[in-house]
Chains A and B, each alone.
Chain A
């Protein structure tokens, strides 16, 4: 009897920790990775994102209040564009721009869209991106 109750109550914790560990490994691997996107859909304009487009590329960062890596992402991207005159960084508060968030299917913050010179999305990173990956993605845009 004592043994069955023990098994009964150990099963949930095994399920919880097992699935959380699997999800956590996926989370760690996928967050920050820049996914290249086939160009489709409508171009984003300066008035939609609330800031000028860069002449070569624009990094559009969606942020929210309850987001720790948003700050680090802002610092990184501001740093990246500081040395590049043809690339701009625009930060958008996801909370007050829910229409745009829905339209672009932004699910979590930070999410960074990489736009080409015509404002078309060519890549996106969910989570804080890595510096070298941002440079590589920008180098791929002519």
Chain B
């Protein structure tokens, strides 16, 4: 319990931001998957990179949310710890990296599978408010140590 408290960072963002970003991610990844577009998957990789390193509140999608969507929303601010969506961005980054490597090396199947997993996660997040960190993180820890 004490470690939980210690790990508590005060960074709290609007939970509707990552959910909106997930919806755009679905659109971008779906298009990339169908067209096998290197520029599109690379663009999404950069977005994931920003989301995983700087934080999901600094991506271009988050900027769109803040400037265009948020002022029009009538629902209330939903506070969310920044760490869970950041974890999801890191997982997305891994899949996008594999996808880009697959496409560059001509291994299209690798691209398709990796992009497919990233798309599934983004879709689950956008449509069902799926918490990737809740479902995956503990399993990873249990498998590793």
A residues engaging B (CB < 8 A)? 9-10, 12-13, 15-17, 19-21, 23-25, 27-28, 50-51, 63-71, 90-96, 98, 101-102, 106-110, 127
Selected from B4, B116, B137, B142, the residue in CB contact (under 8 A) with A15 is B116
Query: Known: A16-B116, A68-B80. Is A109-B1 also a contact (CB below 8 A)?
Result: no
The answer to whether B134 and A66 touch across the interface, beta carbons within 8 angstroms, is yes
Which A-chain residue is minimally distant from B144 (CB atoms)?
A: A98
Interchain CB contact under 8 A, B33 and A16: yes
| Min distance, Cβ B125 to any Cβ of chain A, angstroms | 10
Residues of B within 8 A of A (CB): 1, 3-4, 7, 15, 30, 33-36, 80-81, 83-87, 112, 116, 119-120, 123-124, 127-128, 130-135, 137-139, 141-142, 145
A-B contact pairs, 22 of them (CB 8 A): A9-B35, A9-B36, A13-B33, A13-B34, A13-B116, A16-B123, A17-B123, A21-B123, A21-B127, A23-B120, A65-B133, A66-B86, A66-B137, A93-B1, A93-B4, A94-B138, A94-B141, A96-B3, A98-B145, A101-B142, A108-B138, A109-B138
What separation, in Å, do the CA atoms of A122 and B83 have in the docked complex?
Answer: 32
B30 touches A13 (CB 8 A): yes
Whole-angstrom distance between the Cβ of B43 and the nearest chain A Cβ? 18
> Which secondary structure characterizes the binding site on chain B?
helix
A127–B135 CA distance with the chains assembled, in angstroms: 9
Question: A66-B84, A70-B134 are known contacts; what are 5 more A-B pairs with Cβ within 8 Å?
Answer: A64-B133, A66-B132, A66-B134, A67-B131, A107-B138
Residues of A within 8 A of B142 (CB): 98, 101-102, 107
CB distance from A45 to the nearest CB of B (A): 16
Q: How far is the CA of A90 from the CA of B84 in the complex (A)?
A: 22
Is the beta-carbon distance between B120 and A66 smaller than 8 angstroms? no
Which A residues are in CB contact (< 8 Å) with B135?
108
Inter-subunit contact B130/A27 (CB<8 Å): yes
In the complex, what residues of B have CB within 8 A of residue A9's CB? Answer: 33-36
Beta-carbon contact of A67 and B133 below 8 Å: yes
**Smallest Cβ distance from B8 to chain A, in angstroms?**
9
10 A-B pairs with least C-beta separation: A66-B133, A66-B87, A24-B128, A20-B120, A93-B4, A16-B116, A68-B84, A67-B134, A66-B84, A66-B137
Q: Is the CB of A65 within 8 A of B34?
A: no
- Max count, chain B CB within 10 A of own CB: residue among A102, A107, A127: A107
